[in-house]
A and B are shown apart, each in its own frame.
Chain A
């Protein structure tokens, strides 16, 4: 099955700096890559996703890039704010798969210092 690796496991940045979280996947059939943000004790919230027919997607301060050849995708957060502090999870899934599952990375604890 799919294996998703996520790095780093922890990331500390100063408010206003950028943060980058990277993930790799193993299954070349994977072509849907969502990112979830989870605050302490709360549910994972979908913040952005990308499908394999595009290389980059932006939503305000958040962007995701995808390199299908290298099988890696990244989350970029610019102008970080203290409220961005949370655990971020990447995931991968294959379009049309009847397996119906998302394979998650182990998460990155992002801390933004004021």
Chain B
């Protein structure tokens, strides 16, 4: 167990809908990263937050957004869902915003869009 929690574990929804994925980092970690894992794209970095502020953006679609709250948990919002958004979504946390420190992954949320 990495200490990073994610809810829900599984999510099945229809195209066009909106969902929210939630992540709580390890105790003491201020930085949260979101990754998308699909069979054809591998592990893709989406976005990073540090202590409530956005620090870095990767290949995140405009239909997706995220935020980090004062208690340091983070939410990833996915809207106008398409079939191609079906994937495993992981969050990871680390102590600092510097990515050259260890990142610990949560168990993931498996999103299925039908």
Q: Please tell me if the beta carbons of B104 and A46 are within 8 angstroms of each other in the complex.
A: yes
Number of interface residues of A (CB under 8 A): 27
Q: Please tell me if the beta carbons of B105 and A100 are within 8 angstroms of each other in the complex.
A: no
Q: Please tell me if the beta carbons of B103 and A45 are within 8 angstroms of each other in the complex.
A: no
8 Å CB interface, B53-107 against A: 55-56, 58, 90, 97-107
Q: Does B2 contact A (CB under 8 A)?
A: yes
Specify the main secondary structure of chain A where it touches its partner.
loop
Q: Please tell me if the beta carbons of A46 and B50 are within 8 angstroms of each other in the complex.
A: no
Q: Contact residue range for chain B?
A: 20 to 34
Contacts of A104 in B (CB 8 A): 42-44
Contacts of B99 in A (CB 8 A): 32, 93-94, 97, 99-102
Contacts of A106 in B (CB 8 A): 42
8 Å CB interface, A24-55 against B: 31-32, 34, 36, 42-46, 49, 51
Q: Please tell me if the beta carbons of A100 and B98 are within 8 angstroms of each other in the complex.
A: yes
A111 to B65, CA, bound (A): 37
Q: Please tell me if the beta carbons of A43 and B50 are within 8 angstroms of each other in the complex.
A: no
Q: Please tell me if the beta carbons of A43 and B105 are within 8 angstroms of each other in the complex.
A: yes
A17 to B30, CA, bound (A): 41
Q: Which residue of A lies closest to B98 (CB)?
A: A96
Q: Please tell me if the beta carbons of A100 and B102 are within 8 angstroms of each other in the complex.
A: no
Number of A-B contacts (CB under 8 A): 71
Max count, chain B CB within 10 A of own CB: residue among A46, A49, A102, A103: A102
Knowing that A36-B105, A46-B104, A104-B43 are A-B contacts, what are 18 other residue pairs whose CB atoms are under 8 Å apart, sorted by A's residue number?
A34-B103, A42-B107, A43-B90, A43-B108, A45-B2, A49-B102, A51-B100, A89-B43, A94-B99, A96-B98, A97-B99, A98-B97, A100-B50, A100-B98, A101-B45, A101-B99, A102-B33, A103-B45
Q: What are 9 pairs between A and B in contact, CB < 8 Å?
A: A42-B108, A43-B105, A43-B107, A99-B56, A100-B31, A100-B48, A100-B55, A100-B99, A102-B103
For the complex of A and B, 3 pairs with smallest distance between CB atoms: A32-B100, A100-B56, A100-B48
